[in-house]
Amino acid sequence: MSNQSAFAEYESEDRMSKLIQKSKDSPFVPIGMAGFFGVAALGAYNYKNRGKMTTSIYLMQLRVAAQGTVVGALCLGLVYSMASRYLFKKDSSTDENNH
């Protein structure tokens, strides 16, 4: 029994370390995940106040809102990385050629 718990503990640490590494590489991924869970929690909370809207339509709109939040965060991350790579960083290759 201790072997199974040790294996599960190793596996969970491995997943957590992968998530931490992914967060360091691209910080907008956890922001997108947090946005997704935030929209999902807000939708679950507001489910009672949906009015005369059917459940299937409400869940479809909630899914689109959650996916839009994730895609928006990833697009912002892409724009940020491209801007920092191409617009805001000085080109060191031209400085090396001049000296």
In tens, the pLDDT along 21-67 reads 877 877 887 888 888 899 999 998 999 888 898 999 999 999 999 99
Query: Which residue range is the domain that position 31 belongs to?
Result: 27-88
- In a domain, residue 66? The reply is yes
Number of domains observed in the structure of the chain: 1
- In a domain, residue 16? The reply is no
On whether the pTM is more than 0.85, the answer is no
SS3 of the chain: the string is CHHHHHHHHHHHHHHHHHHHHHHHHCCHHHHHHHHHHHHHHHHHHHHHHCCCCCHHHHHHHHHHHHHHHHHHHHHHHHHHHHHHHHHCCCCHHHHHHHC
- In a domain, residue 6? The reply is no
